[in-house]
């Protein structure tokens, strides 16, 4: 898709061909990591309302988190079976309460700069997994 | 809204390559089979709506990200160092 921002699109932009549910008009994102941001990652949208998200690897929240993709989703990402993928669970803050969307992680294939938000038909995880901060 | 009456094993076709078939009609619900191209996402409405709502609330997080990150580093159950991070 060509947009007004396409000309200035950074080389490290990741394309999410379907966008994110609720933000379908935003298809390109930049993934930003910084030492003072770790373990969070910033997902900055470049199109539409240019939404900003904070995210973290769901395996940091639940060490036994099932980070596996359906063959169809793997195909959408153009990922070979042993390609390393970036798993990002979006984080929401409500007052002092922190919620992590473990139900629908954003998965990015760095080799192809392609991503999608996985919305599996069945999942044991919550879209609002509360994280208790010390 | 387009409304059809369908019996078990009858289907409707949407556009090029999407089929919705009634597999079973029971007291508690209707079981549907969907055939769609791989690039067409198919979701239950309530799950899709929950993901929309979670995304909207995540995007409006006006957090001080580095303060939040420091609190997370102190709270997470496992090491936050990983290769390439």
Residue B74, Cβ density class (10 Å: 0-12 exposed, 13-18 middle, ≥19 buried): exposed
Determine, for residues A39 and B39 on separate chains, whether the beta-carbon distance falls below 8 Å.
no
- A33/B66 touch (CB, cutoff 8 Å), yes or no: no
Tens of pLDDT, residue by residue over A105-121, are 999 999 999 999 999 88
pLDDT digits (tens, 9 = 90+) for A14-60: 999 989 999 989 999 999 998 888 899 999 999 988 999 999 999 99
pLDDT score at B79 = 45
- Indicate the pLDDT class of residue B23, thresholds 50, 70 and 90: very high
A134 Cα to chain B: minimum distance (Å) = 6
**Whether residue B26 has pLDDT greater than 60:** yes
For residue B59, which residues of chain A lie inside 8 Å, CB to CB?
22-23, 51-53
- When the pLDDT of each residue in chain A is averaged and rounded to a whole number, the result is 88
| Interface contact A93-B85, CB threshold 8 A | no
CB contact under 8 A, A22 and B43: no
What DSSP letter does each residue of chain B carry, written as one string? -------TT-EEEETTTEEEEEEEE-SS-EEEEEE--TTS----HHHHHHHHHHHHHHHT----HHHHHHHHHHH-SS----TT-
Find tokens 């390609």 and name the residue. A83
Overall residue count recorded for chain B in this entry: 85
The structure tokens listed for B29 are 């619900």
**Residues of A (39-78) whose Cβ lies below 8 Å from B:** 39-40, 42, 51-54, 56-57, 59-61, 63, 72, 75-76
ipTM field? 0.86
Q: Does A35 touch chain B (CB under 8 A)?
A: no
Verify whether the Cβ–Cβ distance B47 to A119 is below 8 Å: yes
Cα–Cα distance list, B20 to B11, B27, B49, B80 (Å): 5, 20, 21, 45
- For residues B30, B35, B38, B43, the Cα torsion angle rounded to the nearest 10 degrees is -10
Instruction: Give yes or no for residue A99 having a pLDDT over 80.
Output: yes
Q: Does A38 touch chain B (CB under 8 A)?
A: yes
Dihedral angle at the C-alpha atoms of A113, A31, A108, A52, nearest 10 degrees? -120
Q: Is the pLDDT of residue B8 over 70?
A: yes
Contacts of B78 in chain A (CB under 8 A): 59-60, 63
User: Which of A74, A92, A103 to mutate to test binding with chain B, by most B CBs within 10 Å of its CB?
Assistant: A92
């Amino acid at each position: 898709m060509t947009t007004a921002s396409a000309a200035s699109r950074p080389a490290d932009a990741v394309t999410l061909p379907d966008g994110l549910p609720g933000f379908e008009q935003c298809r390109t994102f930049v993934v930003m990591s910084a030492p003072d941001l770790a373990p969070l990652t910033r997902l900055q949208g470049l199109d539409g309302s240019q939404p900003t998200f904070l995210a973290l690897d769901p395996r940091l929240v639940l060490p036994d988190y099932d980070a596996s993709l359906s063959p169809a989703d793997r195909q959408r990402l153009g990922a070979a079976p042993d390609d390393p993928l970036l798993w990002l669970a979006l984080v929401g803050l409500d007052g002092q309460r922190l919620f992590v969307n473990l139900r629908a992680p954003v998965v990015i294939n760095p080799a192809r700069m392609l991503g999608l938000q996985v919305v599996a038909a069945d999942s044991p995880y919550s879209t609002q997994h509360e994280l208790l901060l010390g | 809204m387009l409304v059809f009456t369908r019996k078990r094993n009858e289907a409707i076709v949407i556009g090029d390559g999407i089929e919705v078939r009634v597999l079973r009609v029971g007291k508690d619900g209707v079981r549907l089979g969907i055939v769609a191209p791989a690039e067409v996402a198919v979701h239950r409405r309530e799950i899709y709506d929950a993901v929309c709502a979670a995304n909207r609330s995540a995007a409006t997080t006006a957090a001080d990200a580095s303060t939040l990150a420091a609190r997370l580093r102190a709270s997470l159950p496992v090491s936050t160092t990983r290769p390439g991070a």
